[in-house]
Structure 1
Amino acid sequence: MTESKLRKRKTKRYDDEVIYAAKFLYLKKYTPKEIAEELGLNSTRPIYYWAEKYNWRNLISESGIEELIALRIITLTERENKSVQEIKELEALIDKDIQYKKQRAATVAKVTAKSAVNSADVSGNERAFADSGDGDERKKKKRVKNDISHVTPEMCQPFIDSLFDYQKHIRANKHNDVRNILKSRQIGATYYFSFEALEDAIFSGDNQIFLSASKRQAEIFKNYIVKMAREYFAVELTGNPIILSNGAELHFLSTNKNTSQGNSGHVYGDEYAWIRDFQQFNDVASAMATHAKWRETYFSTPSSKFHESYSFWSGDNWRDGDPKRKNIPFPTFTELRDGGRLCPDGQWRYVVTIEDALKGGADTLFNIDKLKQRYSKYAFNQLYMCVWIDDADSIFTIHQLLKCGVDISKWKDFNPKADRPFGDREVWGGFDPAHSGDGASFVIIAPPALPGEKYRLLERYQWNGLSYVYQANQIRALYEKYNMTYIGIDATGVGYGVYELVKEFARRAATAIIYNPESKTGMVLKVHDLVEHGQIEWSESELDIVPSFLMIKHQSTKSGNTMTFTAERTVKTQHADVFFAICNAINKKSLSDKPRKRRGWSVLSGN
């Protein structure tokens, strides 16, 4: 048989769905070995062959790698119970992220300021640390902990040159007492403010305080600062708080009632619109920046108009209770996008959407068309266009939902890295199929088995643009890892194909759910009851679960005789997929089920 016929026969062993799934994983930076294991292939050879044949390598640009690194950093930062390997990976990724940005800075410097780069007064500082002789001489001297005495403003210039226009604009407005920035996701805000604070601490000696909703989130500031000091200034920073040789302190704190005691300095508050108790957060932040010399900087993606942070952003909390302020106008959203404005309440507000970021030079980091394809219009506007969620008609409140977010490191019976993550404990699965281009969602729910336990969302997955076969295979893999006694699948339309495939390996567990006003109402009420009574939990890092729930609204059916629930699941507003996946899993629960109460025990003694 000829070589061409052999190649043709080998290619036919795999259908287009498998090749498409392999390409999807390849572009997500899976290794050929990982792809083969994921898809159940016996060899990595087909992966290499397809990558060459279909030119996959050229689809990953240098800018794409930088974007993937940023996404991976966010994923690992938000992950609870990180393994030793994941901690090492996070540190390595931050190192790599800073190196890429430094390389980009060097490129900019060569093009725009070649003479300055080559001049002795600038490059001399850099060579002082590159020269091995000077390095040996420094080693002979007794080192001072966190010594930054050698750092000069010129050493900061490569970083400054690498900034995008909107970051430079934020920097130019550093003098404002309060900066309030509404931003798109992943535009480098945490990265920039980490350097700004480090630079300010070095040259002014002022304290810097990073205040986040959780200690874990605050640590990402510390990681960036440690890496930046090493990369740009050849300084190894240690300690927590970090105390520089000039006495400046850098604190990395979470929001709790005792945080502000004894601490004062310039405050950076991130993702403030997603903090459960915003008023406490705001009180803590302002208390630490009471003195006139201290600045406050707040930045976040928007959440709900019913969250306390919305009145902080809109200025309503400043107007409240003062008739003279009631009708004082604030700058429009368009004006705030156009360079920001100093507002009547003394805050400098600035809006940076993803479109603004692209215009400001970040076009090498984002593919806006892919993001629009990946997310619904509703989700895209909220995550990337700085639009606050209007949830006035929602059956849920954001305050109820934020209380459901917890630190899942407290779940000692759950280890997502184990072969059996939840042991032999019972779990329920829920599948919501893709609708007109949005992603399919699958969740794993742990029902309470012991008194005092709540329903817990252990894991969630979203599969975009992949075949029924692939999705069913993913469910099979999870079915084999867990003691999954129930799998609720929306089989009303496109989900029926997945149901048929799942039924082949999980006949007893697989349950087809046919949506109609009655069945939908029953499922939504079950979940609503759990949220209202605080009987369901998920990871506090899963920020997009809240908008998914807020999409659910109460409305009449076409006949007007019945009330039902809708998420306006049209092409423009698909976003509630994770909510319905949870509904499909919770469908196993009876509406009359009540949480098991803890029992008190006493020992009676007799004579």
Structure 2
Amino acid sequence: MTLAAQNEPEEQGGGARAPAIVAARTKARSLYWRGWTVSQIAEELDLPYTTVSSWKTRHKWDDAPAIQRAEEGTLERYLQLMAKEAKTGGDFKEIDLLGRQFERLARVARYTDGGNEADLNPDRAKGAKAANAKKEKAKNLITPDMVEQLRVDMRGSLYGHQSVWLNTTSLRTRMILKSRQIGATWYFARERLLVALETGKNQIFISASRAQANIFRAYIVQWVQKVCKITLKGDPIAIQRQDADGNPDEPVELYFLGTNYRTAQGYHGDVIIDECFWIYGFEELFKVASAMATQKQYTRTLFSTPSTLAHEAYPMWTGERVNRRRARADRIKLDVTHDALKQGALGADGIWRQIVTVFDAVAGGFDLVDVEELQREYALDEFDNLFRCIFLDDSQSMFPFQIMRRCMVDSWDVWRDYQPYALRPYEGEVWLGYDPNASETGTGDDAALVAVAAPTKPGGKFRVLEKQRLKGKDFQGQADAVKEMAAKYNVTRIGIDTTGAGKAVHQLVSKWFPLAEAITYSVQTKTAMVLKAKNVISTGRLEFDAGWLDVMQAFMAIRPEITKGGTQVTYVASRAGGVGHADLVWAVMHALFFEPLDVTEPVGGGSTVEIS
């Protein structure tokens, strides 16, 4: 039977002959699009004229877009050549030509489907990409006029102690021991940006954690936005500079590093080390930092509040570090007392040192703190450490620096499953610990609230994900803060000290979290909590961000003390009023205490509660 004898119903109904009809129709359409008439196609394929004419009308061959006609013709020729057993050199050239034609037709299809001119012209796409890259770089363009604006703005906003620092920017090595909260990070972010813009030297900011290093970045971005009305972008920040004539000058880069400084040994530039007396592994860090600043044109700036006499950076401060490598007769002598270093002094080891207490800052015009209020709020030893730059002797501490430093991690790099800025920062099980304000009116000491990621397996690690200090809140406000934090996490346990206002806070929290545990303090309870925490920390099972110096200080302040009766040992941390307390420490311990002393035993009792 010829194709002419086949009827349309069989084709439409999907009968046995349908594939042959479809093939004939496709061949006929291809010939038509190549310029053949209906009569010629019918004769060539041995088909009735009416069949070919019907196909042409029904399937709208004349209305087909040119791109479809070209694609079909190209494909047909391509398949024909590919099917040849023995291909000539001309065949291969034509196959290559047809392949490029497929690419062109695909670009045309994208363009007609809502694309742009770059789809038609790859070179234009490359040019557009280069233009976008140039435009992106221009976002970080700082002109000489902008540099002058920044310089004027900075000089007009300095306090006395910061002006002293500004006059020492060219010194090779500076080491500054400073009071808490006197604007050091703020100042050095600005100082180093100006140095970078004026000299073209890269600036490398190193902190105990990446989150802490980002404070430098935030200060720089905010300052440039305020003064120059542009937003610096990128990490690192690559700044485009201009010379006095407006011509492009050498660009400069600002790096912000936490513990990942170990992978950045190829960098070079001025190095700034924040809170050097709190960084774990200072000796290794300083070796890497010195390598980055090997060339004599580069400077090294270290500044910090004091930590402990046992810290690795303390010998560098006293000069003992350089004396280790010297014969006794060649050893240097340094006076590192406040009287000797109040105005700053260049030591025999080439290091310029200065001590800036809160009293020194206030004497230089610093009016952002009330010293008398600070003295009322902090115990004498705490005030001396935080504001008078006196190093701690943690030899009597239950949690000395040497064991606590293992807890300090760069959460930015290590905790891959924690996203602090997400609505749901962490998906795993979380325990809350709350140490309340002792006063029912909220006028007493600070309260502390922490979210601790529970171990994912017996003997696993605890991680302090979040901490809050609450002050000035009554028991309702404190309960609301607990509820707000609980809503962010998969909370299964909450532990609350029920002393003072804590009892009311616990009652309010229990309304929406019935399993909230009331912790009644006693000598036995505090001892058990301290010993549990000691075990967890000693075995390397507690982690928190290395930038959280307040957590470190709070743990280091815990020490044993004989009770008034002289028959028992309790654990305290000095504070104003003479009562032992360290809110952040106890809050963390409340969470740790949910785990039995035998870590192989199940915790039990916890369940997720939906917080509305």
TM-score range, shorter chain: 0.5 to 0.7
What is the rounded CA distance, in whole Å, between the counterparts of 2:332 and 2:144 in structure 1? 51
In the TM superposition, residue 276 of structure 1 has moved relative to its aligned partner by: 1.6
Moved more, 208-217 or 496-505: 496-505
What is the rounded CA distance, in whole Å, between the counterparts of 2:213 and 2:507 in structure 1? 46
**SS of residue paired to 1:589:** coil
User: For the structure 1 residues 249 and 591, does the alpha-carbon distance in structure 2 shift closer, same or farther, using more than 3 Å as the test?
Assistant: same
Render the CA deviation track for 1:147-194: whole Å, top value 9, x for unaligned.
645667687334323322211111122332211111223333233323
What is the rounded CA distance, in whole Å, between the counterparts of 2:164 and 2:601 in structure 1? 53
Aligned to 1:270: 274
Aligned to 2:249: 246
In the TM superposition, residue 279 of structure 1 has moved relative to its aligned partner by: 0.9
In the TM superposition, residue 589 of structure 1 has moved relative to its aligned partner by: 1.7
What is the rounded CA distance, in whole Å, between the counterparts of 1:434 and 1:528 in structure 2? 25
Q: Taking every aligned residue pair, what percent have the same amino acid on both sides? A: 35
Matched, 1:204 2:199: yes
What is the rounded CA distance, in whole Å, between the counterparts of 1:474 and 1:582 in structure 2? 16
Matched, 1:521 2:527: yes
**SS of residue paired to 1:392:** helix
Q: Map of 1:360-439 to 2, 5 A cutoff?
A: 360-363=364-367, 365-372=368-375, 375-409=378-412, 411=415, 414=418, 422=426, 425=429, 427-434=431-438, 437-439=444-446
Asked if the contact 1:375–1:438 (Cα under 8 Å) also holds between the matched residues in 2, the reply is no
Aligned to 2:573: 567
What is the rounded CA distance, in whole Å, between the counterparts of 2:371 and 2:355 in structure 1? 18
What is the rounded CA distance, in whole Å, between the counterparts of 1:261 and 1:373 in structure 2? 46
Give the residue type in structure 1 aligned to 2:391: W
Aligned to 2:448: 441
What is the rounded CA distance, in whole Å, between the counterparts of 1:592 and 1:395 in structure 2? 21
Output the TM-score relative to the length of structure 2. Answer: 0.64
Q: Give aligned pairs, total.
A: 452
User: For the structure 1 residues 458 and 222, does the alpha-carbon distance in structure 2 shift closer, same or farther, using more than 3 Å as the test?
Assistant: closer
**SS of residue paired to 1:544:** helix
What is the rounded CA distance, in whole Å, between the counterparts of 2:174 and 2:589 in structure 1? 40
Asked if the contact 1:221–1:252 (Cα under 8 Å) also holds between the matched residues in 2, the reply is no
Q: Map of 1:145-544 to 2, 5 A cutoff?
A: 146=141, 148=143, 156-226=151-221, 228-229=223-224, 232=227, 240-243=236-239, 244=241, 245-247=248-250, 249-254=252-257, 255-256=259-260, 258-259=262-263, 261-320=265-324, 322=326, 323-324=328-329, 328-337=333-342, 339-363=343-367, 365-372=368-375, 375-409=378-412, 411=415, 414=418, 422=426, 425=429, 427-434=431-438, 437-450=444-457, 453-479=460-486, 482=489, 484-491=491-498, 495-503=502-510, 505-516=512-523, 518-544=524-550
User: For the structure 1 residues 374 and 250, does the alpha-carbon distance in structure 2 shift closer, same or farther, using more than 3 Å as the test?
Assistant: farther
What is the rounded CA distance, in whole Å, between the counterparts of 1:412 and 1:201 in structure 2? 33
User: For the structure 1 residues 336 and 434, does the alpha-carbon distance in structure 2 shift closer, same or farther, using more than 3 Å as the test?
Assistant: farther
Give the residue type in structure 2 aligned to 1:181: I
Give the residue type in structure 1 aligned to 2:589: C
Give the residue type in structure 1 aligned to 2:385: Q
Asked if the contact 1:229–1:237 (Cα under 8 Å) also holds between the matched residues in 2, the reply is yes
**SS of residue paired to 1:252:** strand
Render the CA deviation track for 1:303-342: whole Å, top value 9, x for unaligned.
22222122222223233354236682414113322x1122
User: For the structure 1 residues 413 and 513, does the alpha-carbon distance in structure 2 shift closer, same or farther, using more than 3 Å as the test?
Assistant: farther
Asked if the contact 2:356–2:389 (Cα under 8 Å) also holds between the matched residues in 1, the reply is yes
Render the CA deviation track for 1:339-397: whole Å, top value 9, x for unaligned.
1122232211112222222222221x334445455555544443333232221111223
In the TM superposition, residue 439 of structure 1 has moved relative to its aligned partner by: 1.3
User: For the structure 1 residues 391 and 470, does the alpha-carbon distance in structure 2 shift closer, same or farther, using more than 3 Å as the test?
Assistant: same
What is the rounded CA distance, in whole Å, between the counterparts of 1:152 and 1:447 in structure 2? 49
**SS of residue paired to 2:396:** coil
In the TM superposition, residue 447 of structure 1 has moved relative to its aligned partner by: 2.0
Matched, 1:546 2:540: no
**Which stretches in structure 1 are left out of the alignment for 5+ residues?**
1-141, 597-607
Output the TM-score relative to the length of structure 1. Answer: 0.65
Root-mean-square deviation (CA, aligned residues, Å) is 3.6
Q: Map of 1:43-122 to 2, 5 A cutoff?
A: none
In the TM superposition, residue 554 of structure 1 has moved relative to its aligned partner by: 3.1
What is the rounded CA distance, in whole Å, between the counterparts of 2:509 and 2:307 in structure 1? 36
Asked if the contact 1:492–1:514 (Cα under 8 Å) also holds between the matched residues in 2, the reply is yes
**Which stretches in structure 2 are left out of the alignment for 5+ residues?**
1-136, 242-247, 603-612
Render the CA deviation track for 1:61-93: whole Å, top value 9, x for unaligned.
xxxxxxxxxxxxxxxxxxxxxxxxxxxxxxxxx
In the TM superposition, residue 476 of structure 1 has moved relative to its aligned partner by: 4.3
Give the residue type in structure 1 aligned to 2:339: T
**SS of residue paired to 2:288:** helix
Asked if the contact 2:318–2:336 (Cα under 8 Å) also holds between the matched residues in 1, the reply is no
In the TM superposition, residue 433 of structure 1 has moved relative to its aligned partner by: 4.3
Asked if the contact 1:306–1:398 (Cα under 8 Å) also holds between the matched residues in 2, the reply is yes
Give the residue type in structure 1 aligned to 2:572: T
Render the CA deviation track for 1:486-522: whole Å, top value 9, x for unaligned.
4333335664444455455544433232312x32221
**SS of residue paired to 2:552:** helix
Candidates 578, 592, 595, aligned match of 2:598: 592
Moved more, 576-585 or 147-156: 147-156
Give the residue type in structure 2 aligned to 1:439: D
Render the CA deviation track for 1:241-271: whole Å, top value 9, x for unaligned.
5253432533314244645533333222222
Asked if the contact 1:441–1:461 (Cα under 8 Å) also holds between the matched residues in 2, the reply is yes
Aligned to 1:114: none
Render the CA deviation track for 1:378-418: whole Å, top value 9, x for unaligned.
44443333232221111223243233233445545555666
In the TM superposition, residue 480 of structure 1 has moved relative to its aligned partner by: 5.6
